[in-house]
Chains A and B, each alone.
Chain A
Amino acid sequence: MAQRLEITLNPDLPDAEGLGIKRKAFDYFSIEIDSIRTISIVTIDKEIDQLCADDAGDEQGLDKVGLIRVRTEIFTNPVTQISSYSPLDIDCDWIIWVGLRPGVRDNPGSTAVEAIEDLLSIKFARDEDVYTSKRYCITGANITREQMEKIAAELLSNDIIEQSQVYSREEWDPEVGIGIIIPKVMLDHTPTITNVSIDSDETLMNISFERNLALNPNDVPTIRNYFLKEEIKAERAQYGLSDPTDLELEYISQGRSDHCNHNTFQGLFKYTDLATGETEEIDNLFNTCIKEPTLKLQKEKDWVISVLWDNAGAGRFDDDHFYVITGETHNSPSNMEAYGGSITGIVGVYRDPMGTGKGAKLVMGGYGFCVGHRNYDDDLTPKLHPRRLLDGVIEGVRDGGNKSGIPTTFGQVSFDTGYMGKCLVFVTAIGIMPSTVDGAPSDQKKASPGDLLIMCGGRIGKDGIHGVTASSEVFSEHTPAGHVQIGDPYTQKKIQDFLIQVRDEGLITFITDNGGGGLSSSIGESARSSGGCKVFLEKAPLKYDGLDQWEIWISESQERMTLAIKPENLDRFMELSKKHAVESTVLGEYTDSGMLHITYDGKPCAYVDLDFLESGFPQWEFDAQWQPPHLRGLYEPSTKEPTDYNKLLTDMLGRPNICSKEWVTRQYDHEVQGTSVIKPLVGEDRDVNSDAAVIRPVLSSNRGLAFSQSLLPWYSAIDAGNMTECTIDEALRRVIAVGADPDHVGGVDNFCWPNIEFDETTNPDGKHKAAQLVRSCKALRDMCLACGIPLLSGKDSMYVDGYLPGKYGEMQKVSALETMQFSALARVEDIEKCISMDFKSHGDFIYLIGNTKDELGASEYYQMLGHIGLNVPTVTPDAFMKSYRKLYAAICKGLAASVHGVYRGGLGVHLALAAAAGNLGMNVYLEKIPFESSEKITRNDTALFSESSGRFIVTVQPEDVEEFEKTLSDIPCTCIGQVIDDDTMLIKGIDGTEVINTPVSGLKKAWKKPFEDLI
């Protein structure tokens, strides 16, 4: 008989969670609630006589003492909480209960099991568990059931992972409460290996549809040919196999997926410029635009250690350490279940450095969220409103990052209606490892024949398995809602601690993480290192019985690593595994047979050539057609200069893509590990965004790592090539602004693109989007080569589209702007030379580095006025690099008091922010800003809001002016004004008349206002 324990805060304590829900109910839905009290429910599904060991039972025949100890010593704080095994009597008008669906990861439930086991020295059997849920006791005079249903569905639960129930006062039985709800997975299924007929291409395609294998029709003949070859058939027969098994096809499907194999980037692009009629064939964007330039730069830069093959790229930090970095997206899952998707994303990306080389320790994380407008109230109705989606992804990354003990130091949030079809959730992970482990280079790893194949971490369930079974299974209260996952940072933190210790003891020969594709991908990868493997799949630890072999093989259950270790090290490995409370299991061994060989209880499941996936599959092909922007009907708008610049600047500072998002930053622990040098928020009041973050990852060293990210999708409305080069330039300038060495910058490209495959009805502009991808990749290549930025890592997510119901029941396709987030990671020689963006003291001179051009195309200013324009910002990387190196020299000499890049919003916005950070004013003369003589700036709005790249605002103390100007000679750099000890932003226009005269404090207030009530 299960026990249900209810716990709540003492009535005299404020219920912060309840207050938050009350506020959101009013802000989002105008529903007025008087009060909400939250009750946590812990349902212990365990034979009670075990819980109660030797104690005497109470009137119900239950042991009191064990249950009482569980209640009082674990689940109830005697100072702040009350609790009971019967429903708590909290007076209210309505009750909403919310609990997880079966199979959804219940992190508090798992830790509750650990705690009870520890306290009572008992063990939970595999079919026993603890389930947590909540009920909310709500009072309010005029609340209707409809309102409660709305709050349950749109605020408190997501039906993909959760179930909920609304009770009115009349419906609530105070004796019964919610009843005893056990969301246990029960699969009445015997694991079965199925052979799949391949008598024709058509049969195989039909099976692909039925089983949701998503095989590409072009791949099907290659797959059939392999299995139909006589020598293959003969060899397979020896191992008891004939037609491919379901597991084998799943393996091939996973390995050939765009997610794993990057077929789009490796495709053949036929590019036509419609204006000139010129055509070009680009065979493999990855090879030509990412791999080649990076290999070239690796030869030139001795600090580039490991690129293009491992889970993350590595660079040299110092003689004794390498740093590693990678970045990913987790868009589709977050779009369905924002919290679960984003926590799984951040915890998942943190496994990549853990599985890079022989394993790195995580030192820093970053995030990027792209969603629809938070206050969207137009006609489209996505499953999750952008506001709710954003709340969820923020919280997911918060819990995932904070509970991992990794500082989340930098990030950005961008709003655009294009992200309503699918949101973007970028997560970036940075780690550090000793340059040698046990005398060998740490970036190298190799499994050898005879090494044991080990999986460690979480258990395997139906998590993340594609929906093949959804149609064939009858839905019941015990059907797992497994396709959505909830990351578990606690379990993974234990794994990380464990792996660092086994690495340092030299026990690891190969390690990789289990991400997309699960064991299929991780074992496939590690087996290619040794040249083969034999897997005994029945040894894989499961969450519950009833999984088919193919499901075990491709399940994406989280928090798992796959390793190779020498048999003689097994005992020590297992000893440490136990010490760290991490489950590790030997699943098989590595061989040099060239084959992936899998059995289950002696029955054959797979026998496939490991190199099959890398051979003979047809290349994907795309038509790409480029119509230059002026021929697409884009033009510069005809406007006359504004007359009220004070109001214009104030309003611009409050726009969602410019304004403060302090509420996000403060939820993220950005100082754990004690390494913080430049924080995400700086200035006198610690409230304005820094250009980049700097940490000191090795506490005994004064070297640092500077990290920034940039994302400028709006320029893609004109040309994704410009979008790409400007994004890279911004990321680069950001790390330079805090004091990083411009010649030691590595990059991570994360492409998020709408579908580029042309289809007359479903994707009529596919060829344009394909051309944008080609232009973007070429710009990436050119910028990286010109600026000397090797691509340490990168990923692509190619289907950022969604169909949303509109006002009249029609379904509208919403595609994102072509987007690339670029992350820059740079070395800082001496962190004590680092610099922040805030104006420091009055009397300092303000310099502007870099030419301002008439480049308002797709700017924040034009967007604000409802235009796109044509003159999108451009880059001149060779000239820029010259400036950047000189600025770096000035920073190294200590000549700059503050440095801040000019980014989205232009000079006006960024002067205001630097002043607001320092709580100081300025006198600035626009007539003095540098420009090219051929491109004279004639209008104040152009000067203030052009988003020309390559620019910095620098303040210099008066005594340093001479040396500063000498150091920055021969580049566009002029003194444009002075910092003043007065709360005023004073700007004289190009003709010398005053254009801006407004209090800096007012500008700061406007910048902080839009989200100031959020915490």
Chain B
Amino acid sequence: MAVKSLVLTGYGLNCDNETAHAFELAGAQADIVHINSLIDGEVDILQYQVMSFIGGFCWGDDHGAGVVQAVRMKTNLGDKILEFIEKGNLVLGICNGFQALVNLGLLPAIDNDYTARTVALTYNDCGNFRDDWVKLTVNPDSPCVFTKGLQNLEYPIRHGEGKFYADDATIEKLIANNQVALRYANNDFEPTESEFPANPNGSLYDIAGICDPSGRIFGLMPHPEAFNHPTNHPAWTRNKAKNKKQGTPTDNGPTPGILLFKNCVDYFVS
């Protein structure tokens, strides 16, 4: 049985297609499900092992990114989602989905409190929406299921509200618990010390993605699903020319974007 992955859609979310595609490439069976189909009971979350909160502009992001989605999900499905998590399933939040997860309180869930809003993703320091590729370092000591075995990633970011913010004590706890799974990095894959544009939004401690203490809930601002094919990478034409010159064969394995989704699948298979 393939791992079943639920990809949320509706109300202005917009990365449903490529997120489902990424899951399928990783070996999962992905269903795109409208938020209202969960609320009206047409689809039961508990039929799935992975639930994805995806990128987009839910409710236009008019009152803080991910806020209204979080309100709707919490009001109508709060207990069901907690039950889903208690059963040992996985939750992934990408970009707008990450914003929704922190507003739901599912992240960072310090001390296993899955309802408190203790961190925020707020307006980029640069003051605008930004699309660019970033380099990321992976914390090898993190319990994060999704980043297991990965290192030195490159994914695109596309957001106006991605600055990770929390008070000092919270940040320290996140670091101590190894909940900081992904950090923005410079060209040498070292932390940027908040230097723009390597750190594209001014995130504290260069935080690009965090997980809950169990490592089964993960949110990140970059878009792994947008690196679903080698030609998504900004340097692929340059690498192709370089490989040709050096006689290096091209790597036909899964892209680093798909590897993150593969970790979801492998978690259940193992």
Q: A interface vs B, CB < 8 Å?
A: 9, 13-14, 16-17, 19-20, 42, 73-75, 77-81, 107-108, 111-112, 114-115, 118-119, 132, 398, 402-405, 488-490, 493-494, 497, 579-581, 665-679, 682, 684, 686, 696, 699-700, 831-832, 834-836, 838, 840-841, 894, 897-898, 918, 957, 1015
Contact = CB atoms under 8 A, between A and B. Distances in A.
Given A16-B123, A16-B127, A672-B14, A840 B242 contact: yes
Contacts of B119: 79
A17 B67 CA distance: 19
Interface string B108-138: 0000000001111011111111111100000
A834 B59 CA distance: 37
B238 A403 contact: no
B165 A79 contact: yes
B129 A493 contact: no
Contacts of A118: 68, 71-72, 75-76
Given A77-B120, A112-B62, A840-B242, A405 B127 contact: no
Nearest to A837: B237
B128 A1015 contact: yes
Contacts of B231: 676-677, 696, 831-832, 834
Contacts of B245: 841, 957
Given A403-B60, A579-B37, A684 B235 contact: yes
B68 A672 contact: no
A115 B63 contact: yes
Contacts of B75: 118-119
A669 B129 contact: yes
Contacts of A898: 241
Contacts of B14: 404-405, 493, 672-673
Contacts of A835: 237
Contact of A77 (B64, B128, B241, B244): B64
11 contacts: A107-B60, A115-B72, A119-B75, A405-B12, A490-B59, A497-B10, A580-B36, A677-B232, A686-B132, A832-B240, A840-B237
A438 B123 CA distance: 45
B12 A494 contact: yes
Interface stretch (B17-25, B82-90, B175-183, B210-218): B17-25
Interface stretch (B140-148, B221-229, B262-270): B221-229
A898 B240 CA distance: 11
A894 B158 contact: no
A107 B226 contact: no
- Residue from A80, A675, A957 whose CB has the most chain B CB atoms within 10 Å: A80
B57 interface: yes
The 3 closest A-B pairs by CB, nearest first: A405-B14, A674-B18, A108-B62
Nearest to B227: A674
Interface in B76-116: 76, 103
B110 to A, nearest CB: 13
A672 B15 contact: yes
B4 interface: no
Given A497-B9, A699-B18, A108 B129 contact: no
Interface size class of chain B, counting residues whose CB lies under 8 Å from the partner chain: 35 or more
Contact of A73 (B9, B71, B118): B71
A79 B120 contact: yes
Nearest to B244: A957
A488 B55 CA distance: 18
A20 B132 CA distance: 21
B122 A77 contact: yes
Given A17-B123, A494-B11, A671 B59 contact: no
A671 B122 contact: no
Contact of A111 (B63, B131, B240): B63
Contact of A74 (B21, B36, B67, B125): B67
A81 B65 CA distance: 13
Contacts of A686: 132-133, 234
A897 B241 contact: yes
Contacts of A678: 237
B191 interface: no
Interface in B152-202: 156, 158, 165-167, 202
Interface in B1-57: 9-15, 17-18, 21-22, 34, 36-37, 40, 55-57
A1015 B37 contact: no
A674 B36 contact: no
Contacts of A897: 241
Given A77-B120, A840-B238, A699 B62 contact: no
A838 B238 contact: yes
Given A74-B71, A118-B75, A403-B12, A674 B228 contact: yes
A79 B169 CA distance: 13
Given A674-B232, A699-B17, A14 B125 contact: yes
A198 B130 CA distance: 58
A1015 B68 CA distance: 28
B32 to A, nearest CB: 10
B129 A398 contact: yes
A748 B166 CA distance: 49
A836 B238 contact: yes
Given A17-B127, A696-B229, A80 B55 contact: no
Contacts of A493: 12, 14, 56-57
B15 A405 contact: yes
Contact of A841 (B126, B133, B227, B241): B241
Contacts of B125: 14, 16
A331 to B, nearest CB: 25
Contact of A490 (B12, B122, B132, B240): B12
Nearest to B226: A674
B232 A676 contact: yes
A672 B226 contact: yes
A74 B11 contact: no
A674 to B, nearest CB: 3
A836 B236 CA distance: 9
Nearest to B225: A674
Contacts of A489: 12, 57, 60
Contact of B68 (A20, A79, A111, A580): A111
Nearest to A132: B62
B117 A79 contact: yes
- Residue from B71, B228, B242 whose CB has the most chain A CB atoms within 10 Å: B71
Given A667-B128, A667-B129, A669-B129, 6 more contacts: A14-B125, A77-B67, A112-B63, A671-B131, A674-B232, A838-B237
Given A497-B9, A580-B34, A836-B237, A114 B131 contact: no
A671 B225 contact: no
A666 B124 CA distance: 13
Given A16-B123, A115-B59, A74 B68 contact: yes
B233 to A, nearest CB: 9
A771 B237 CA distance: 45
Nearest to B196: A1015
Contact of B71 (A115, A665, A666, A684): A115
B241 A671 contact: no
Contact of B36 (A14, A20, A579): A579
A14 B156 CA distance: 25
Contacts of B226: 671-672, 674, 676
B238 A671 contact: no
Contacts of B120: 77, 79-80
A163 B88 CA distance: 53
Nearest to B37: A579
Nearest to B157: A671
Contacts of A957: 241, 244-245
